[in-house]
Structure 1
Amino acid sequence: MTDTSWLMRVEGAKRTLNGSQALVFNLVAAGFAGFYLYTSGFGLVSTQSNRGIYLMLTSVLVFMLFPATRKSPTDRFSLFDIGFVVLTVSVFGYWIDQYVSYAMFRVSSPNQTDLIMGSLAIVILLETSRRALGPVISLIAIAFLLQLFYGQYLPGRLSHPGMSIERILEFTYSTQEAIFGVVTATFATFVFPFMIFGAFLERSGAGKFFMDLGTAVAGRWRGGPAKIAVMTSALFGSISGSSVANVVTTGSFTIPLMKRTGFKSHDAGAIEAIASTGGQFMPPVMGAGVFILATLTETSYLTIALMNVIPALVFFIFLLSMVDLEAARLGLRGIPREETPRVRDVMAKGWHFFMPLVIVIGLLFAGFSAEFCAFWGTVSAAVLSWRNRETRMGPKAIIQGLIGGAQSNSSAGAAIGTLGIIIGGIVLAGLGLKFSSVLIDFSGGNLFIAVCLVTLVSIIIGMGSSTTGSYIILSVVAAPALIQLGVPTVAAHLAVFYAACLSNITPPVCVAAFAGAAIAKAPPMRTGFSALKYGATIVIMPFSFAYVPELLLIGEWPDIVYSSLLYMTGAIMMAIAIQGIAPIGPRLSMPNRILFGVSAALLVFPANLWIDVAGIALMGSAILMAWFMATRQNNRAVPH
């Protein structure tokens, strides 16, 4: 008889379900993921069903898995939770059933039931995001709703006549512009299928394979465990696209290993946090925000993935350099040879785990839609898992993969409806262009100051939202300002997206760093500041995209190659300046560090030939100074 005990338990961050309640959750989760996996492959569903079912079942799973308050039961649903589940099904079921009737007969004149259901939908979505993500993003949404009603009291250009409650409710709920707008459509159509793909790939054994591969490649190097963290997070990030998921998954192995080999606890947590943040823009999957970016800029997902190749390479090269120099500074060594597997053995056993990624990329190049690629990537992961007996995905593992994908979405998708409310408030009041005008005026039309302001705003917004949420808000209120200042559209949106990624590691609220600190048992704030040091390239990349669009493959190929090589060189010089030690060994004097730092600044912003020549000349001088110091120290160490 088949063992089904695994269906009788669900472990969440704040609630653990057992018995019949766990069974109900798992059945809903598996059905939810199964439905969207099917639609990603066959697409047989109406627009209103696609968007409505996504928000409905996301909220239902959140109400089951996240307790309402600290005093709520953590081992079962409360009556309050059940009431919200019933309300959610009724409200979103009504929208799905009535949308066509509204669009044909009731536009601009919603009936009383429409308005009541709209009010309840707003309450449901605010509660969904509050439970899963905390109160901040819900409070932001409430503020944007209030400004619609009290628009006449807003200052200066942001002022507007204000709108009736009926108009606010209709636009927010009944149309496909706010709650059921482009954000929901993108998550339901593209993001969720890739979450399922990531869950299947991990369930098929790919997560362990990537970990073993990173250990085999980098384990014996100086500071090997930290380099394993960087490499495995880059590989795992390409399938998960979630920084926190990366930290929790790979960090449980890499962080203790880093600490064991000599890294300080806060540095171990920080390295894992920043490496996992890199998964947000590591092709081919990247983070959920990239799908939104592709939709808003009307650019193919494949094009966005290709444009991120050079920035991702620069990011991880810089991070590996930082890790290597930190290991050199501490005098650390790698993992003993006998404890590291051979690359040949790891690849022989698990080379097939690359095939689902190859299939996804191949289908993208062939012109198929992103969700269709996710479908066949998921199917191929399940089929290829049968190559090894211990990883074979039978019916149990397939259902667990579906449940895992739905659980991942419960956290990532909890904010989507609330973000729709925020976007609706911005669009209905015309705040996007108004805020962009204010931003341009405040910066005096100076692009550098404008990017500084965008980065600052992204950090503030990111305190209460995910990377995706921060980017969605900034794409409406900040990206247009950069575009007006002459930045190419996609470059402007990517600058905003990378600025949003920065909030993952920027104190005082840095979710990825806090997750790493929890595993490392390190002070959260100290871990956050350390992550900011290791992730210095994310700080400068928004500026780079604005000034050097060649990094995003925009321009002629000779210019792209030239700028990219200078940028990568500058990133390495910046790592040397920050760490204060050269790869050849000696600690650097302060003048030498400053020389490396200035050369890095000139190289990462290749403005013209003379600045480039100056940067290269200063770099050569810095290297010669470091070599001279190393030679002198070695001569002193040799007995005469």
Structure 2
Amino acid sequence: MQRSNWLFNVYGSKRTLTGVPALAFNLVAIGFCAFYLYTSGFGIFSTESNRGIYLMLTSVLVFLIFPAGRWSPKTRPEILDLVFIVAAVVSLGYWIDQYVSYAIFRVSSPNAYDLWMGGVAIVVMLETSRRALGPVIPVIAILFLLQLYFGPWLPGRLSHPGMSVERILEFTFSTQEAMFGVVAATFATFVFPFIIFGAFLERSGAGAFFMELGTAVAGRWRGGPAKISVLTSALFGSISGSSVANVVTTGAFTIPLMKRTGFKPHHAGAIEAIASTGGQFMPPVMGAGVFILATLTETSYLTIALMNIIPATMFFVFVLMMVDLEAVRTGLKGLPPSETPSVRSVLAGGWYFFLPLVVVIGLLFNGYTPEFCAFWGTLATIALSWIRKDTRMGPSRIGQSLVGGAQSNAAAGAAIGSLGIIIGGIVLAGLGLKFSAVLVDFSGGYLFLALILVTLISIIIGMGSSTTGSYIILSVVAAPALIQLGVPTVAAHLAVFYAACLSNITPPVCVAAFAGAAIAGADPMKTGLAALKYGMTLILMPFTFAYVPGILLMGDTFDIVHSTIAYLLGVLALAVALQGADPIGGRIGPVRRGLFGMAGLILLFPASLMLDALGLAFLAAGLLPSVNAAFGVRRTNA
């Protein structure tokens, strides 16, 4: 198990700072969060300060808390870290100071200092990503830099005249098109304020409240601890928007509970991993990638959140059904009544924790920007924490929340500079349309084959990467191909985003499943494969978005209602087929599993009423023995 889990343990493992280094980290973290909390409420000072300070302080915190390798000290930074910190401050500080001068006097004519600082900043960004996320994203970034220089030697459509080193450094560093482009702007402006909001909400007692509420609602049901995991991950995921953060936070409580009530370790880790992955697209907050999606598609964040309500709900319904049928199949029970509080008592003690989310949603509906909503959501959280004495947020807890927000951002934002380099390489070489053309050619112009290729590419790119990083790359190289094949723009980007989420649970490198396996003491590969089974709808959703946009509230009322009902029946039928268990108890044979499987596949893609009728017929045939058994029991009881 240790050997299989090596990648996850080496990359992304944090130091436990002590003494002066810990004080330095906390001071930088507090100042970092306080600055962006202020700009989210009162506006940014300038574009260059907004983007440059974000990348600079993210790198500084990464070099403090993430060691360079296994040889590095675990409680303090080393000389190499200090060198990188100085390099980050000098190079990125230079960009902030010189950008206006460059934009006015030196466009297309960078001086020697611009080029040298650009080279230093690129190295800093690559190392920042490697420390927190491993080698995948920096290696991809280096490849995209190299292809800019070696363009004439690239094969086929990917070939281009090539660029000089000076042109590559200028475009990547001096402009706002690459390293300091839309990705950095979106994170600094929209994502970071929501990360801070999530940190405050968690430390105000909301995290514990949502966990207790999940226990009260689902704890007594069969397989109750697993259902607690699903519900709490959905609720907590709407705060954090990070699959791994969800796993380590809620999984520390739910995974031991699942194991105690009879779930196998790899199933316990898998259920937490897939439920936590769903938190990235669970409204109202969702993950960081959704903010990028809204920016790239020029669609309001509120619209994206509304479009995700039905798919996210269906996803969690499917996972709950899978968990329930796993309990049926293996005879598992829920928690004893003595360990499950009443819903009424839980709500009475913490109902007000929903109010910050209400504030955010209400402001969004009234047309305010997302970062402004996050600012007021954070202030509402602080104010509401004073309702109870044990949750009051004084200076100490506010400081802890700011530090927690900066720590979360250090992992989430570490890839942003490298992703900007990748985007810059694609834009400067004009590769976006070329990649799309190649993808269309490979698929022969068939949308179904194109979606399969997108899914495979997302799994490969997502190995060891974040969902946000995978989505940003796919949004440039894959989404245009789907749009070219007739998929609406937002549906195409959502299909790509959900495909990017899939990489969290697909072996051989599946970071959410690895995190769940580590807590459960299970084999990572078995955990990843089990998570793939529990998250089967995540594989199918990109296809559904492309063929059935009604599920995304696109179309008339009939299309939306028709798609939703058919999809709901489809996910329920698919769950029964995959688990081979009857909802009323016991296992089912291969014939009935086949009937449920056919019903699920047809109803998940409601193309016409005639096909829906066929799917319903298969579903009815599969349910008939259960209905007869239920009525037989009733007659016997009568």
* Residue 49 (structure 1) aligns with: 49
Could you say what secondary structure the match of 2:17 adopts?
A: strand
* Residue 548 (structure 1) aligns with: 548
Write out aligned runs for 1:396-545 (5 A): 396-545=396-545
Which residue type is aligned with residue 595 of structure 1?
L
Change (3 A) 1:275 1:502: same
Mapped contact 1:588–1:626 kept (Cα < 8 A): no
2-structure distance, mates of 1:76, 1:254: 33
1-structure distance, mates of 2:173, 2:14: 30
1-structure distance, mates of 2:314, 2:232: 17
* Residue 116 (structure 2) aligns with: 116
Alpha-carbon distance, 1:14 to partner: 2.8
Alpha-carbon distance, 1:76 to partner: 1.0
Write out aligned runs for 1:8-407 (5 A): 13-407=13-407
Could you say what secondary structure the match of 1:35 adopts?
A: helix
Could you say what secondary structure the match of 1:414 adopts?
A: coil
Alpha-carbon distance, 1:44 to partner: 3.8
2-structure distance, mates of 1:343, 1:467: 34
Mapped contact 2:171–2:178 kept (Cα < 8 A): yes
Mapped contact 1:223–1:332 kept (Cα < 8 A): yes
1-structure distance, mates of 2:362, 2:570: 33
1-structure distance, mates of 2:612, 2:132: 48
Mapped contact 2:230–2:275 kept (Cα < 8 A): yes
Which residue type is aligned with residue 316 of structure 1?
F
* Residue 590 (structure 2) aligns with: 590
2-structure distance, mates of 1:561, 1:59: 47
Q: Which runs of 5+ in 2 are unaligned?
A: 1-11
Mapped contact 1:586–1:626 kept (Cα < 8 A): no
Alpha-carbon distance, 1:629 to partner: 6.6
Could you say what secondary structure the match of 2:187 adopts?
A: helix
Could you say what secondary structure the match of 1:227 adopts?
A: helix
Could you say what secondary structure the match of 1:487 adopts?
A: coil
Alpha-carbon distance, 1:20 to partner: 1.1
Could you say what secondary structure the match of 1:393 adopts?
A: coil
Alpha-carbon distance, 1:73 to partner: 1.2
Q: Which runs of 4+ in 1 moved over 2 A?
A: 625-632
* Residue 3 (structure 1) aligns with: none
* Residue 9 (structure 1) aligns with: none
Alpha-carbon distance, 1:80 to partner: 1.1
Could you say what secondary structure the match of 1:220 adopts?
A: coil
Mapped contact 2:44–2:50 kept (Cα < 8 A): no
2-structure distance, mates of 1:333, 1:387: 37
1-structure distance, mates of 2:234, 2:353: 15
Alpha-carbon distance, 1:535 to partner: 0.3
Q: Which runs of 5+ in 1 are unaligned?
A: 1-11
Compute the TM-score of the two structures, normalised by the length of structure 1. Answer: 0.96
1-structure distance, mates of 2:203, 2:381: 9
2-structure distance, mates of 1:515, 1:631: 45
Could you say what secondary structure the match of 1:17 adopts?
A: coil
2-structure distance, mates of 1:581, 1:156: 52
Considering only aligned residues, what root-mean-square deviation do their CA atoms show, in Å? 1.3
Alpha-carbon distance, 1:631 to partner: 7.5
* Residue 8 (structure 2) aligns with: none
Identity of aligned residues (%): 73
Q: What is the count of residue pairs matched by the alignment? A: 625
- 1:91-144 per-residue CA deviation (whole Å, 9 max, x = no partner) reads 011000000000001001100100000000100000100111111111111000
Which residue type is aligned with residue 578 of structure 1?
L
Compute the TM-score of the two structures, normalised by the length of structure 2. Answer: 0.97
Alpha-carbon distance, 1:626 to partner: 4.0
Which residue type is aligned with residue 377 of structure 1?
G
Alpha-carbon distance, 1:628 to partner: 4.6
1-structure distance, mates of 2:585, 2:202: 39
Which residue type is aligned with residue 299 of structure 1?
T
2-structure distance, mates of 1:403, 1:436: 42
Alpha-carbon distance, 1:268 to partner: 0.3
Mapped contact 2:448–2:543 kept (Cα < 8 A): yes
- 1:147-203 per-residue CA deviation (whole Å, 9 max, x = no partner) reads 000011111111101110011000000000000000000000000000000000000
Which residue type is aligned with residue 22 of structure 1?
A
